[in-house]
Chain A
Amino acid sequence: MTLPRTSFAFVFAALSLGFPQLASAADFGVNATDYDGAAWSPYLVGAGIGVLSWLTFYFADKPIGASSFYATIAGFIGKFVSRRHTESLKYYQTNPPAVDHGFVFVICTILGGFIAAWTGGEIRNEWLHPMWVDRFGDSIALRAVIGFVGGVLMAFGARLAGGCTSGHGISGTLQLSAGSWLAVIFMFIGGIAAAMLLYTSL
């Protein structure tokens, strides 16, 4: 038990050292709050997701999670291209791709997002967000490269850490899992550092 305690002390030290610096670096030329935000209060939405987690635990015996959906799709494609090779991989031996709870859940998350946007008059139908255009210009190719590289890093990190902002960030943290808190703290350390670098003009 000494190692986890030491690592948590390290994390909190890193956070407290970094915080004043981060707080003073709030000027990035663009401000995220100049663009439209949420339709509903974050507290209402957070409470709704909290209650949803009771329901998924009670009725489905499953925590909320999203990232394994992409690994499942990758597994289906991999099996289509080379069945033998894909089935030889350690990850797919323990997690064979299947149309399971997590798969249907995320497909319906897409649909739920559509219903909310449609009923709220918030269908965007755009290839670039205005904030992206204000910072990086209107090249879709640039967005494609950055988005793709980001996706590769994100999925690799999620699989290595064992979950994403849903699996660790909501389901793991609410169960007080030490590893989930550790993963989420580092997700935000990495994210904040990288985003601030991206939005700092040289």
Chain B
Amino acid sequence: MIDPGKAVKESSEPPPAVLAGKKLLTAILFGLAFGFFLQKGGVGKYNVLIGQLLLQDFTVAKIIMTAIVVGMVGVFTLHHFAKVNLHLQPTKIGAQIIGGTLFGIGFALIAYCPGTGAVALGQGSWDVLFGMAGLITGSYLFAEMSGWLKRTVETWGDKGKVMLPDLLHIPRGVFVSAFTLLLLAALYAMERFTTR
């Protein structure tokens, strides 16, 4: 059997200053498709996003969980046959709990997230512009503090790249199969017990 980790070269080439050719084309096409799908999914709309956080409208959860099932099965199949690299973010328990919670509180206030906010702008929901000004400001604020955060919060529970199957000591293929069934069951339950 092919070992995907060895067959695919590491994706560590230095990023070019300006995109060109095939790289530019893929960024354009995939960005267009992403925005198109998100808008058609209704997740550029204030009420659909806030409705998810109020547990009144489960559109967001349905989209995310379906994307996870389809994406996971495909990406792990491609990876098994050494066609793609995985791009795992390191697990940093402290940073992800604190960062995730701050993100969530911000999410409730602005209602749009970084990707769906782009879609909201495209469809003319101009209130997202205030949120975007905040997103730019918050990013710079983080950069200002990034040296200090890197030495403190980001070292709390820094575990490196960890995958759920490793954590539970289950073979990857078995985990993906079982997790697919679990997510499909959750989607079925959501469809059965929610109105939207």
Residues of A at the B interface (CB closer than 8 Å) are 1, 3-5, 7-8, 22-23, 26, 28, 31-40, 42-43, 45-64, 66-67, 69-71, 73-75, 77-78, 86, 89-92, 98-101, 104-117, 120, 122-132, 140, 143-199
B189 in the interface (beta carbon within 8 A): no
Residues of B at the A interface (CB closer than 8 Å) are 11, 15-19, 22-24, 26-48, 50-57, 59, 62-72, 74-75, 78, 83-93, 95-111, 113-116, 118-128, 130-144, 146-147, 149-150, 153-154, 157, 159, 161-167, 172, 175-176, 179, 187, 195-196
Closest chain-B Cβ to A12's Cβ sits at a distance in Å of: 13
State which of B86, B91, B103 has its C-beta within 8 Å of the C-beta of A4: B91
Given A109-B119, A175-B72: A162 in contact with B136 (beta carbons within 8 A): no
Q: Is the Cβ of B72 less than 8 Å from the Cβ of A114?
A: no
- Residues of B contacting A174 with CB < 8 Å? 67-68, 71-72, 75
Given A46-B65, A114-B35, A155-B136; 14 other pairs, CB 8 A cutoff: A32-B57, A43-B187, A60-B26, A64-B34, A70-B139, A98-B17, A108-B32, A108-B35, A147-B130, A155-B137, A160-B99, A162-B99, A179-B90, A191-B104
Q: Is the Cβ of B83 less than 8 Å from the Cβ of A58?
A: yes
- Residues of A contacting B52 with CB < 8 Å? 32
The CA of A80 and the CA of B58, in the complex, are separated in Å by 42
- Residues of A contacting B97 with CB < 8 Å? 7, 182-183, 186
The CA of A151 and the CA of B16, in the complex, are separated in Å by 29
Most buried by B among A55, A62, A179: A179
Most buried by A among B51, B132, B136: B136
- Residues of B contacting A173 with CB < 8 Å? 64, 68
Q: Is the Cβ of A52 less than 8 Å from the Cβ of B30?
A: yes
The CA of A39 and the CA of B116, in the complex, are separated in Å by 15
Q: Is the Cβ of B127 less than 8 Å from the Cβ of A127?
A: yes
Closest chain-B Cβ to A10's Cβ sits at a distance in Å of: 9
Most buried by B among A35, A39, A110, A192: A110
State which of B47, B131, B187 has its C-beta within 8 Å of the C-beta of A151: B131
CB-nearest residue of chain A to B130: A147
Q: Is the Cβ of B84 less than 8 Å from the Cβ of A61?
A: yes
- Of the A-B pairs whose beta carbons lie under 8 Å apart in the complex, a sample of 21, sorted by A's number, is A32-B50, A46-B62, A47-B70, A51-B71, A62-B87, A63-B87, A77-B140, A101-B23, A109-B115, A113-B39, A122-B123, A153-B103, A155-B114, A155-B141, A159-B138, A160-B153, A162-B89, A163-B89, A167-B89, A168-B100, A176-B165
CB-nearest residue of chain A to B109: A150
Q: Is the Cβ of A190 less than 8 Å from the Cβ of B103?
A: yes
- Residues of A contacting B91 with CB < 8 Å? 4, 177-179, 182
Q: Is the Cβ of A154 less than 8 Å from the Cβ of B114?
A: yes
- Residues of A contacting B16 with CB < 8 Å? 100
- Residues of A contacting B50 with CB < 8 Å? 32, 131, 195, 199
- Residues of A contacting B150 with CB < 8 Å? 90
Closest chain-B Cβ to A150's Cβ sits at a distance in Å of: 3
Q: Is the Cβ of A187 less than 8 Å from the Cβ of B157?
A: no
